[in-house]
Amino acid sequence: MAIFQGAGVAIVTPMYEDGRVNYDKLEELLEFQISNGTDAIIICGTTGESSTLTHGEHLKTIKFAVDTVKKRVPVIAGTGSNCTETAVMLSREAASYGADALLVVTPYYNKATQKGLIAHYTTVAQAVPDTPIIMYNVPSRTGCNIQPATAVALAKNVKNIVGVKAASGDLSQIALTMSMADGCLELYSGNDDQVLPVLSLGGQGVISVLSNVAPRQTHDMVMKFLDGDVKGATEMQLKAIPLIKALFSEVNPIPVKTALNLMGMEVGPLRMPLCEMEEVNKEKLAEAMRNFGIKLA
């Protein structure tokens, strides 16, 4: 059984103006997502600025999400690191809090070989044998690409490595991976502009940035496809493209945090080295949101 089907939100980490994590606001965001049909919460991923959270903040934020959500939907904790020992530590802690699954990004900067990736993921998975793991492949950020044979070997040989968040943008690679997997690997789109193509290759859903601002629409788009309404789902995917483009006009999560603030959600600033959005891009983002039917504050 899949960890989830539908749209999981790669949720932002709200902050006060002084940079502290705003847990009261995070609770509001979690409730907003659940009440609007989101199928899973992905906490402390790239969109959650995990790379600039201290280990203490990272773990506290995961525990807060697990405790707040209370099993209403799955909570998937981002616990990857470019240090295998750190990834093991984060994964063990998140599992002990009751996270339903872990999202483990490929080691960034190190540029591990395929042999190294197998060793890394195997070591992390064996440290939390009862918790499912989704591998996160995003070469544009990490400089490291999980090749199809590697992904399939891990899924077949390590019992709790069950899925992959595919954010390479390479649909041919994704297709080859699923062809080789022959059903042993759950597939989630990591790109909001490729949700339907990935679903058509056997995907279960999306781990979505778009869901932060349009949770109901993203959920409905995936469910229409899974329920056989391909035409309706396609219309929704195409309608969302201008907004998705605006949400990635600068590096994620700059635009999506800006968008939430434009909606009056008051999620606060970004942590350096991320900075405020360029005004010209902010204006285009606001226009795309209005055109999509999102009410601005």
In one-letter notation, the amino acid at residue 145 is N
Contact 3, 101 (CB under 8 A): yes
Before 273, cis peptide (omega within 30)?
yes
179, 153 Cβ separation under 8 angstroms: no
Euclidean distance between CA atoms 118 and 251, whole angstroms: 29
Distance in angstroms (rounded) separating the CA atoms of residues 171 and 238 = 17
Q: Around Cβ 216, how many Cβ atoms within 10 Å? A: 14
Q: How much of the chain is in helix, strand and coil states, percent to nearest 5?
A: 50, 15, 35
How far apart CA 197 and CA 21 sit, in angstroms, is 36
Residue 212's Cβ-side half-sphere holds a number of Cα atoms within 13 Å equal to 33
The residues facing 188 across adjacent strands are 165, 205
Which pair of structure tokens corresponds to residue 227? 């329920």
Calpha distance 21→133 (Å, rounded): 26
C-alpha distances in Å from residue 106, one per residue of 61, 172, 178: 21, 20, 19
Q: Angle of helix 148-157 relative to helix 171-181, nearest 10 degrees?
A: 30
DSSP assignment of 91-115, as one string?
A: HHHHHHHT-SEEEEEPPTTT---HH
The catalytic residue positions are: 136, 165
> Is 43 in a helix, a strand, or coil?
strand
